[in-house]
Amino acid sequence: MQESRVTYLDNIDGLNSYLRKNFSTSSSIIFVDSNVSSEYKFDENFNTHEILVNEETKNITTVDKIWEIMHSNSVTRSTNVICIGGGVLCDVVGFATSTYKRGANLLLIPTTLLAMVDASHGGKNGVNNNYGKNQIGTFYLPNEVLVCVEFLNSLNKEEINTGLIEVIKAGFIGNNKILELVYGDDSVYSDKSLLQLAIDVKTKITKEDLKESNTRMYLNFGHTIGHLIESDSNYQISHGQAVGIGILVALEISEKKYNLDKSYRKNYMNFLNHSGLKSHYKFQKTRRELITILSNDKNLNNEKINFVLLEEIEKPILKEIDIEQAMELIINE
């Protein structure tokens, strides 16, 4: 199976040098988050277009604007489409690239911790619509992902901590050493070795199951509830924060169903408290509205939700739970 190459770089100078050396300015187009371009200077010889997107504008309208830019700039299947931004922009540009003329070369340069360890890997691209989050999408692997740690210097504390949620998720489902590193050092987030450990967990799983027919669902640990919280809050709760709460609920359910050692939830709760992250969310929508949202979830199968739980650390398990029972677990936690 095709794999995405991952290259680690220390700073923006190194990034610009790498791009100049490996990508022709005449056959490349860059889409960059406008917030990023205001803070960092990139090679002006590249054909660069600023895009401002968030969860509320992560939709087909934004994709259509990108398609229009691609058309105006004569993008072909041999063009190098380079995306510099967070997870939302990577999703949108990835989707636009995979569908315009049935695909071009895709290079992702994630600028947030969450995107570096999660969103830019595995080939999932998509947009939101009236039916839910990422309901329209493709599986389309980037040719390469460039991880430049200098971008992390511009992130605020909340962005770092919510990004660490995805790092911790990788620890729970695939490598306990990650948990030891994160819990032991507040500044470890910028350590390339930690980033690589988390990325390796995801890429190993997606290599085995690209299109989420089985084990890739393990990466949804904490996400079923997380997506529900995002939708219920009209995306006022960030993805990382929502998944953080979802992981806490999944750990508690795992204790009840599989006698998971309670120390894992205790240590994780300590992390949330120390980081100033929420550990609880009060749903605003009615039970019936929440069930409707869950019913549209991609992980629904014959009125049952595929819930990712832990039998033990590094041993995730898919548990089919009736949607009504799932609501009881979610609301009562």
Tens digit of pLDDT for each residue in 247-280?
999 999 999 999 999 999 999 999 999 999 999 9
Mean pLDDT over 6-31 rounds to 96
Sheet strands (E) in 25-114: 28-33, 47-51, 80-85, 105-110
Q: How far separated are the first and last CA of the chain, in Å rounded?
A: 40
Nearest alpha-carbon partner for 168 in 100, 113, 232, 214:
113
Which one-letter DSSP state was computed for residue 147?
A: E
Side-chain-side CA neighbours of residue 193 (13 Å): 6
The neighbour count for residue 304, using CB atoms within 10 Å, is 15
Q: Classify 8 as helix, strand or coil.
A: strand
Per-residue pLDDT tens over the stretch 211-258: 988 899 999 999 989 989 998 998 899 999 999 999 999 999 999 999
Q: What is the rounded average pLDDT of the residues 33-62? A: 93
Confidence bin at 131 (pLDDT 50/70/90): confident
Give the pLDDT of residue 86: 96
pLDDT score for 267 = 97
Q: Are strands 144-148 and 105-110 parallel, antiparallel or unpaired?
A: parallel
Q: Which residues pair with 5 in a beta bridge?
A: 144
Q: Could you tell me what percent of the chain has a pLDDT over 90? A: 78
Q: Hey, what amino acid is at 295? A: S
Per-residue pLDDT averaged across 144-148, rounded? Answer: 98
pTM for the complete prediction?
A: 0.92
Please give the residue that has the higher pLDDT: either 18 or 189: 18
* Structural domains of the chain ordered from first start: 5-154 (3.40.50.1970), 157-188+213-332 (1.20.1090.10)
How far is 331 from 216, CA to CA, in rounded Å? 26
Contact indicator for 79, 43 with CB cutoff of 8 Å:
no
Question: What secondary structure letter does DSSP report for 321?
Answer: E
- The rounded distance, in Å, linking the Cα atoms of 70 and 31 is 10
Please state, rounded to an integer, the average pLDDT across all residues of the chain: 92
> Given this model, what pLDDT does residue 293 score?
82
pLDDT at 320 over 90: no
pLDDT at 333 over 60: no
User: Mean per-residue pLDDT for 290-302?
Assistant: 72
Q: Rounded to whole angstroms, how far apart are CA atoms 170 and 175?
A: 7
The pLDDT score that the predictor gives to residue 302 is 63
pLDDT at 99 over 70: yes
Q: Could you tell me the two tokens for 244?
A: 């953080």
**In the chain, what percentage of residues exceed pLDDT 70?**
97
